[in-house]
């Protein structure tokens, strides 16, 4: 999930760094050192050891199974077009005794299967990204799939709203005129999971008040309708944002779109960037936190020009005005706040210290962020020894703890981290080294949906879900 010329896997392939383990600050703080997850043969951690898949797609614990919901380029949409490439983040919604999945497609320009242009659903006919919506039965069997937004670029992550819609984010800053685009990009769009018709003339409306930059993910506070946003960018590194709605705004289906098209809608509410303080001292970069449990006070700084007319939003601030982070990625609302992920950091990219992943928790009540999980630098991502790197998308598990999609070097996993701090593998990609994307549970907690971005698989995982063993 990067737009930088040197991607994550290429970068790690050129480094040789010591492993520091994984730690999480939760109800019980714990340190998990390298290899601990596989140190004792037969030890049941999480849901137990992974069983190799004879079909070489997905290794899962005993008792778990998967269904391939769709395959990019092979499965067809309801109108007969091939399912688009590069499925990324998912928004999962209840639908009778099944689910509806709104799936992002992280398509820039040259991927083999673009999102088809559909009347009333297309923002920019010169762009090939967007979202499709998949309907599935109770066990993940696909019953249909259609375009719900077209004409966008690099739809990476997003977030579910409290009123039951999906906010899909463009991870780009591309301008009209580049690569054949007819409009500016770098916006957030709202998609209704109800039906294709429910989005016609509505989903292609950019929510410009949320800013134009390389958006990654969002989380929405159900109490205030405030929206928190991550930015995956560098030179300089990205920022964590908060949008506060204007007085009198009430969140609900269509409310964001109505605000966007109202007079002055492009600058409605306030968009601010995060500044962290450690005992009154400015924190320049989140990577300087090297111990789980570190807590910083948060201040919010107004964005001067949220549409970045001449200067990228992240470059509009002096060094002491904001707190930056390399690779701000997934985000999920839970436990009264926003969990958000920094995928990795290296001193060579301007970071203060090096790590292979952080999970932070922003508490709006106390106006603080706390480092919950720290992944030390993985010494050898090519071996499966209980070390992990490059967490990306995140979801809060209904069974406790969080689930992270690994987008690092070497072997790719779905990683669980228990509330007590124990990491474990839920699944292993046995098809290739492509990243996992978009983990999200069905409303009843019985099915975990997740994607393998290349060659483009949407998967449904079922099994004996419960609180994972430490």
Which bin fits 188, alpha (ψ -120 to 50), beta or left (φ > 0)? beta
pLDDT tier, 37 (very low <50, low <70, confident <90, very high otherwise): very low
Distance, in Å, from the CA atom of 400 to the CA atom of 417, rounded to the nearest integer, reads: 9
Distance, in Å, from the CA atom of 213 to the CA atom of 173, rounded to the nearest integer, reads: 5
Residue range 18-23: average pLDDT? 43
Higher per-residue pLDDT: 1 or 402: 402
Sign of the alpha-carbon torsion through 449, 454, 457, 459: negative
Domains of the chain by start residue, with CATH: 57-460 (2.120.10.30)
Global pTM exceeds 0.75: yes
Distance, in Å, from the CA atom of 179 to the CA atom of 196, rounded to the nearest integer, reads: 28
Residue 218 has a pLDDT of 98
Residue 420 has a pLDDT of 83
- Contact present, 35 and 387 (Cβ < 8 Å): yes
- Contact present, 100 and 193 (Cβ < 8 Å): yes
For the stretch 118-149, pLDDT in tens is 999 999 999 999 999 999 998 789 999 999 99
Q: How far is CA 239 from CA 53, 226, 312, 451, in A?
A: 40, 17, 11, 26
For the stretch 160-211, pLDDT in tens is 999 999 999 999 999 999 999 999 999 999 999 999 999 999 999 999 999 9
Residue 24 has a pLDDT of 47
For the stretch 210-259, pLDDT in tens is 999 999 999 999 999 999 999 999 999 999 999 999 999 999 999 999 99
pLDDT tier, 43 (very low <50, low <70, confident <90, very high otherwise): low
Residue range 27-48: average pLDDT? 46
Question: Which are the contacts of 32, defined by CB distance < 8 A and separation ≥ 6?
Answer: 21, 22, 23, 24, 421, 422, 423
């Amino acid at each position: 999930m990067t737009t930088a010329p040197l991607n994550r896997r290429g970068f790690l392939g050129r480094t040789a760094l010591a492993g520091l383990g994984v730690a999480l600050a939760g109800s019980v703080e714990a340190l998990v050192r390298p290899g601990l997850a596989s140190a004792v043969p037969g030890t049941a951690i999480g849901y137990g050891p992974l069983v190799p898949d004879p079909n070489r797609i997905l290794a899962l614990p005993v008792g778990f199974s998967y269904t391939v919901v769709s395959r990019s380029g092979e499965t067809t949409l309801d109108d007969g077009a091939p399912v688009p490439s590069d499925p990324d983040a998912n928004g999962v919604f209840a639908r009778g005794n099944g689910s509806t999945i709104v799936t992002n497609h992280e398509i820039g320009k040259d991927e083999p299967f673009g999102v088809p242009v559909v009347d009333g659903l297309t923002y920019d006919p010169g762009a090939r990204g967007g979202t499709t919506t998949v309907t599935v039965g109770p066990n993940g069997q696909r019953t249909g799939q259609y375009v719900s937004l077209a004409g966008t670029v690099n739809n990476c992550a997003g977030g579910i709203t409290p009123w039951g819609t999906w906010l899909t984010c463009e991870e780009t800053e591309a301008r009209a005129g580049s690569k054949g685009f007819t409009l500016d990009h770098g916006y957030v769009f709202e998609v209704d999971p109800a039906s294709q018709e429910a989005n016609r003339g509505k989903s292609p409306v950019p929510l410009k008040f949320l800013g134009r930059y390389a958006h990654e993910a969002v989380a929405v506070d159900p109490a205030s309708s405030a929206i928190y946003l991550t930015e995956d960018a560098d030179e300089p590194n990205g920022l964590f944002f908060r949008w506060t709605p204007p007085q009198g705004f009430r969140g609900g289906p269509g409310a964001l779109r109505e605000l966007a098209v109202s007079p002055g809608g492009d600058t409605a509410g306030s968009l601010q960037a995060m500044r962290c303080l450690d005992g009154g001292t400015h924190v320049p970069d989140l990577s300087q936190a090297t111990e789980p449990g570190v807590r910083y006070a948060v201040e919010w700084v107004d964005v001067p020009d949220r549409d970045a007319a001449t200067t990228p939003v992240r470059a509009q601030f002096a060094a002491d005005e904001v707190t930056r982070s390399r690779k701000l990625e997934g985000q999920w609302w839970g436990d009264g706040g926003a969990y958000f992920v920094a995928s990795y950091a290296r001193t060579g990219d301007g970071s203060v210290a090096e790590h292979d992943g952080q999970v932070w928790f922003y508490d709006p009540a106390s106006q603080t962020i706390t480092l919950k999980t720290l992944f030390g630098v993985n010494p050898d991502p090519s071996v499966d020894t209980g070390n992990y790197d490059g967490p990306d998308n995140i979801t809060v598990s209904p069974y406790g703890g969080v689930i992270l999609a690994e987008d690092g070097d070497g072997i790719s996993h779905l990683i669980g981290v228990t509330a007590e701090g124990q990491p474990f593998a839920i699944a292993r990609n046995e098809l290739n080294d492509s990243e996992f994307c978009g983990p999200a549970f069905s409303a009843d907690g019985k099915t975990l949906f997740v994607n393998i971005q290349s060659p483009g698989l949407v998967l449904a995982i079922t099994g004996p879900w419960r609180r994972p063993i430490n």
